[in-house]
Amino acid sequence: MGATPSSSPATGSLFGITPHPLEFDTILDDLLNRAKTLVERDELPGPLASVIDSTGVVIALAADPTESGIAHALLKNWVRDGGLRAEYLASGILIPTFAAPDQEATAVSAHLDSASGASLVVDVPYSVVDGRLSWHEARISEGAHDVFPSA
């Protein structure tokens, strides 16, 4: 299943095809917009995190991309800690993915989790032509359910 990312209306279907909590639309739009800005500035798109706190406010966090592995682990621990303390309604962590270890990022992978128990991974390839990022068809799969405790 796949679709081209864009700002999606609050329809309950990620990119119009996959049922999900509505918070995922907000988090994914935030993560993809921030990643797009970074790529168009010729920077590595992540790791990035976004959460929706218990009051409905989106909180964005970025990490130093030169320490990508360490930064991803720190973001994941930070998000999981807040999830365990019931501080967030939903979370997302976006990391750059690579076709090969010696190549530049060619996609981003957004790991989305909700306090309701939903968990999705959205992999979105992209290309850059003349400094402009173009998203390609997203691949959506079940997530690891590793941020929020099970009910």
Q: Which residue has the higher pLDDT, 43 or 101?
A: 43
Note the pLDDT of residue 100: 60
Please say whether the dihedral angle defined by the alpha carbons of residues 129, 99, 8 and 39, taken in this order, is positive or negative: negative
**Comparing 95-104, 106-115, 123-132, which segment has the lowest mean pLDDT?**
95-104
Note the pLDDT of residue 3: 45
Note the pLDDT of residue 121: 92
Note the pLDDT of residue 113: 93
Q: How far is CA 1 from CA 43, 109, 117, 122, 137, in A?
A: 29, 15, 21, 11, 9
Note the pLDDT of residue 17: 62
Best-predicted range by mean pLDDT (7-11, 92-96, 146-150): 92-96
Across the range 69-78, mean pLDDT stands at: 78
Structure tokens at 66: 């030169």
Alpha helices in 85-143 (DSSP H): none
Phi, then psi, of 48 in degrees rounded to 5: -130, 155
Across the range 120-146, mean pLDDT stands at: 88
Q: E-strand spans in 54-138?
A: 58-62, 88-98, 105-114, 119-129, 132-135
Asked if residue 39 has pLDDT above 80, the reply is yes
Note the pLDDT of residue 21: 80
pTM for this prediction: 0.83
